Amino acid sequence: MTIDKDELVEAILEAMDQRRKISNNEHADHHAFIKLLMEREERRVERMRKFQLSFIGAIAVGIVGALGFIGQFVFDYVLKNSSR
């Protein structure tokens, strides 16, 4: 007994349809929803990365500002005490 390829494909598809619990449209909706969730997660990760970079930048600017303030304080102190 031989089965041609088309009959085999048809039999497999029919068996899959019988076992399927959801319709093709519902299945497509699930895929669209999962894609939406993945895109949302990618955007969240990108926002977090940008925030981390801006936070690190703010810390760096703060450190430079603090060093500048300390440098100005030391400079003023040295100028006041060197004129004695």
Report DSSP letters for 35-62, one per residue: HHHHHHHHHHHHHHHHHHHHHHHHHHHH
The pLDDT of residue 84 is 58
Between 18 and 59, residue with greater pLDDT: 59
Q: Is the pLDDT of residue 82 over 90?
A: no
Look at residue 83 and give its three-state secondary structure.
coil
* Whole-number Å distance between alpha carbons of 63 and 2: 80
Mean local confidence (pLDDT), 9-19: 81
Could you tell me the pLDDT band of residue 39, with boundaries at 50, 70 and 90? Answer: very high
Q: Which residue has the tokens 């009959």?
A: 7
Look at residue 69 and give its three-state secondary structure.
helix
